[in-house]
Structure 1
Amino acid sequence: MGAGELVLVGVVIALGLCGVLVPGVPGSWLVWAAVLWWALTAPQPVAWGVLVGATGVLLLSLGVRWALPPRRLRQSGATPRMGVYAGAGALLGFILLPVLGALPGFMAGIYLHERLRLGGHGQAMAALRTAMRTGGSSVLAEFFACLLITAAWLGAVVWG
């Protein structure tokens, strides 16, 4: 697989990561489809291993999301800008504190957005709790799964 095709796969994965944060866009399935495309065009054992792992992670995240409350983020006052803050926080946390940093990073992003919007610590904490209860945990589970898949793909491309 050439560098151009790898860049296209990376772009589709990035679009999928952004799609997780946008309601109605099947972001996790875009990430999985990009990994499938890569595995089919670069048939190596590591590519198939990443594809099998990605499938397992997505199925597991789907099960977790079914167990969580349904998404009702719009009713809680969540905005697209909040999704950007949460996604950036999760990505930054995932990089700074590998893997587990995505969890506090996601919540820190929501808190920062609400702190800037509302002004006070107590109000921001209350808004964070509301956002996580009304579907933020579901978005976090899906985004975390996609970050794991992206990291596995990047690792396989760079070191595989």
Structure 2
Amino acid sequence: MSVGVEVLIGLAIVVGLVGVVLPILPGALLILGAIAVWAILEGTGTGWAVFAAAALLLIVSGVVKYTWPGRRMRDAGVPKRSLVAGALLGIVGFFVIPVVGLLIGFLLGTYLAEVHRHRTHSDAWRSTVHATKAVGLSILVELLGALLAAGIWLAAAIFV
């Protein structure tokens, strides 16, 4: 395989990593797709083993991403509707305020939903902080899986 093709695959993986941190693009799917293309072009058992390992890491991190933070939010008493409100306002914020609008919109939407539910600032803010920590944990879990998958690919691309 040519170096140019491997560089393009590496760039696609980097874009996928950015997509994990800034949920604009489906980061894990981009990474998996890029590694799948590499495995097809590589056409060796090692290539397919790397793809299988990356897929396993991304699937496990995807499952943990949704179960672990969700359980923490349930334990803190944050309802799903507050997260939905945060997500919807986050999407609006993304288009209104470039770069930081997604975060600001999520915080504002979650806070407003929680103020409506709790009727006090302190309880609403406490719930908003729990929700924000859970979303951050979710991103970190997915990022860990994506970085491990990217690292396996990089090691194989360099040493194989």
Deviation at 1:156, TM superposition (A): 0.3
For 1:134-149, list aligned pairs within 5 A. Answer: 135-149=135-149
Q: Which runs of 4+ in 1 moved over 6 A?
A: 127-130
Max radius of gyration: which structure? 2
* TM-score between both structures, scaled by the size of structure 1: 0.62
CA RMSD in angstroms comes to: 2.9
State the distance in 1 between where 2:99 and 2:137 align.
Answer: 16
| Distance in 2, Cα, partners of 1:27 & 1:36 | 14
The one-letter code of the counterpart of 2:2 is G
Letter of the 2:26 partner, please give it: P
Return closer, same or farther for 1:80/1:130 CA change in 2, 3 Å cut-off: farther
Give unpaired runs (5+ residues) of structure 2: 71-79, 91-97, 103-127
Q: Counterpart in 2 of 1:150? A: 150
- 1:30 maps to what in 2? 30
Q: Report whether the alignment pairs 1:132 with 2:133.
A: yes
Residue identity in the other structure for 2:151 = A
Runs of 5+ in structure 1 lacking a partner?
Answer: 84-126
Aligned length: 115
How far residue 24 of structure 1 moved from its aligned partner, in angstroms, is 3.7
Matched, 1:60 2:60: yes
Matches of 1:23 and 1:147, distance apart in 2:
15
Q: CA deviation at 1:147?
A: 0.3
TM-score by length of 2: 0.62
In structure 2, the partner of 1:90 is none
Report which of the two has the higher share of helix.
2
What code does the residue aligned with 1:141 have?
V
